[in-house]
Chains A and B, each alone.
Chain A
Amino acid sequence: MKRPTPDRLLSLVVIAPSLVAIAVFVYGMIGWTGFVSLTKWDSLRPDYAVVGLVNYAAVFTNPRFQIDLRNTVVFTAFFVLSSLIIGLTLANLLDRRIRGESIFRNVFLFPMAISYIVTGVVWKWLLSPSSGVNQLFGLDPATNRWFTDPTVLSISPESPAGHVLADIGLGFLASTNIGIPVAMLSIVIAAVWQMSGFVMALYLAGLRGIPDELREAARVDGASEWAVFRHVVFPLLLPVTLSAVIILGHISLKIYDLTVAMSPQGPAYATDVPANFMWQTTFRDGLYARGAGVAIVMLLLIVLVVVPYLVWTRRQEVEV
């Protein structure tokens, strides 16, 4: 074995405290939470008797958690997609070298600097049925219910489509647990308002990194502006898009502050999220082991998004 050089030793010494801190406070705690989720700890007195996956069974059979999972998927899908589309559009508009570009850039980016709690409170005022936009535009509060709307868009088991699904063995799809809670879309509006400027900044940086020669070459070859965007610019923006999806995705999977400030649960849990469920299960109901189970499920959801990304970026690095 080679003797380590003094440089290498020094770097190890410098890095050691943070390694230890991360090992204990991140991975140690994750491991501890995982262990607790397998125990019987259901009161303030810790009980480390291992009971296996009982807590996970209780979590997954809980109607509220099933609703929360649906909400998370719907929120993530709408939030990520809308932020990407709006962010990309804004970035392209700003990339036209318009006058006052820096003013617009800052205006679009500012919301990101605000805490989710503030955003939540403001949008709660704006979208409360009896105030805000309804009053401003004279909309009927009885039909424009925003985040208080209990409607869940789903396929009814009694509808023709529901019968077809049942016939081909997919009857479980015709349920409100596989649907779009309308109230959640109000939360999406607030979240998109906050984060699309950030996506715009990412894309703008990406656009500025694309050499003009490439576009010129395409134009010389007779490509239309749309074709230039579609076949030259957009493929080069793919890494930016992926980063944006990962960043937005992990934010939305563990979102808590925005929904708590705006609408903690909503009608029939239409705006409830797993983080809220975890907090209440643990600290209000005192079911520590079950709360730990919810935490682990949330972690796994995020791992599902982040790990493929890490693998992908690693491959890219190897190729380079």
Chain B
Amino acid sequence: MYGKKLFAALAMVGLVGACAGGASPSPSAPIKVEIVSWWTTGGEATGFNKIIDLFNQRNPQWQAYNSAIAGGAGSAAQAVLQSRVLAGNPPDSFQVHMGHELLDTYVTPGYMDNLDDLFGANNWTSQFPKGVLDIVSANGHYYSVPVNIHRANVLWYNKKIFADNGLQPPTTWDAFKTVAETLKGKGITPLAVGDSGIWTSGQVLETILIGTLGADGYKGLWTGTTAWTDSKVTQALDTFKMVLGYINPDHSSLTWDQAADMLISSKAAMTIMGDWAAGEFINKQFTDYGWAAAPGNDKIYDALADSFGIPTKAQNKDAIKAFLTIAGSAEGQDLFNPYKGSIPANTTAGSPPASAQQYTDYQKSAMAEWKTDAIVPSLEHGAAASPSWRGAFEQAVTLFVANPDVSATQQQLASACKDAKVCQ
């Protein structure tokens, strides 16, 4: 059994290699440029193809294509990509979360080119906010171009339920508790969580850590300047324990979008989710949703982004540089983001041509906040810490959700920081 599977896998790797090698240029046919993403359907694929079309139209000598690998947030894509990079046969560019997911997986082992020239030539060092430049760089060099920005720390609520019960979206975790008690008394699930993939619960804890420690304190957790043994972390875990008392009992059988559906059907009043939830509401023609920063998260933008870099062994580097120039420009970002439901990372973007898809109200409000808020990296979406550290964090969260033991969990989190060689 194992032998057969392995053989098939190897045969596939060989095949991919053969295909890439076989694309030899002839003077007339454009050279194929392979860009791997996990955007296969819906608005995100539509938006991304807009950028690709623009690139192909301007560069007839090249033909870029979206070599998509299906799978939520690239979980399936990861294994395929990693084996290709290891085998010295990477695609010309590939989608990866900006931050440590890229840096620790690909940059530190030396598989990526730095993009300092590209950032300089396009003036991106002044067009992207400093918070983003910090996240995409390591040792003073830039390594990937973010094409969008999503916000992870948003509290979504059902406006009708809140109006019917005379409630305001909570701005602190104490206020959350009061609101949740009222809702619970009415038989409404206060907070919908769908953590069959544990990252959703991890993201709730992430927003609680931000809300308790503040922007700098939270950032310090990932750089070693805030101790995981700090009493504020204890306080955050106590809050998390309190919040878990107000979630739907079937949370571990649901996905994040099924949890969002509980808002649509008025079974639940709130959910803490990234701003891709807005797309879910729009798709289901639900208009009665409101949004606010998660409690304690006001003026802090918990950011994640999809980004593209240049593998050292990429075959068509000139083509990819031209592609990234478009993808990072205001023009490219205004083509992509209205479909994706995210906002442009480039602060000069924000006004798509009249003929193109426009931004929604949520996106407009997020863009305004993006320019003024403190930007912190999202842990659950690869920006803040290495994948193995995130894995250890998620393990602690998984155990905590079923059995909230604050001191044991704090110890696990502290030792995870040590294992990641960030804490002493």
Given the known interface contacts A25-B7, A43-B108, A44-B106, the answer about A283 and B82 at a Cβ–Cβ threshold of 8 Å is yes
State whether A265 touches B3 (Cβ < 8 A): no
**A283 / chain B contacts, CB cutoff of 8 Å:** 78-79, 82
State whether B109 touches A150 (Cβ < 8 A): no
State whether A63 touches B395 (Cβ < 8 A): yes
Bound CA–CA A128/B196 (angstroms):
12
Interface centre among A64, A264, A279 (most CB of B within 10 A): A64
Interface size on B, residues (CB 8 A): 37
The distance from the CB of A4 to the nearest CB of chain B, in whole angstroms, is 28
Q: B401: CB under 8 A from chain A? A: yes
Secondary structure call for the B interface? helix
State whether B398 touches A148 (Cβ < 8 A): no
State whether B253 touches A142 (Cβ < 8 A): no
**A29 / chain B contacts, CB cutoff of 8 Å:** 2-3, 6
Interface size on A, residues (CB 8 A): 41
Q: Which of A116-134 contact B (CB under 8 A)?
A: 124, 128-130
**B257 / chain A contacts, CB cutoff of 8 Å:** none
Closest to A269 in B: B398
State whether B398 touches A265 (Cβ < 8 A): yes
**A21 / chain B contacts, CB cutoff of 8 Å:** 3, 7
Bound CA–CA A201/B127 (angstroms):
69
State whether B250 touches A43 (Cβ < 8 A): no
Q: Which of B123-166 contact A (CB under 8 A)?
A: none
State whether B78 touches A268 (Cβ < 8 A): no
The distance from the CB of A291 to the nearest CB of chain B, in whole angstroms, is 11
Given the known interface contacts A141-B249, A141-B250, A145-B250, the answer about A268 and B398 at a Cβ–Cβ threshold of 8 Å is yes
Q: B224: CB under 8 A from chain A? A: no
Q: B25: CB under 8 A from chain A? A: no
Given the known interface contacts A25-B6, A266-B252, the answer about A44 and B105 at a Cβ–Cβ threshold of 8 Å is yes
Q: A177: CB under 8 A from chain B? A: no
State whether B110 touches A45 (Cβ < 8 A): yes
19 contacts between A and B (CB under 8 A): A21-B7, A26-B2, A42-B388, A43-B104, A45-B109, A46-B86, A63-B395, A130-B250, A148-B249, A148-B251, A265-B198, A266-B252, A268-B399, A269-B398, A269-B399, A283-B78, A283-B79, A284-B75, A286-B105
If A129-B250, A150-B252, A267-B398 are given as contacts, then 16 extra A-B residue pairs at C-beta distance below 8 Å, sorted by A number, are A26-B3, A26-B6, A30-B2, A43-B109, A44-B82, A44-B111, A62-B395, A128-B253, A150-B403, A265-B196, A268-B398, A270-B402, A283-B78, A286-B386, A286-B388, A287-B388
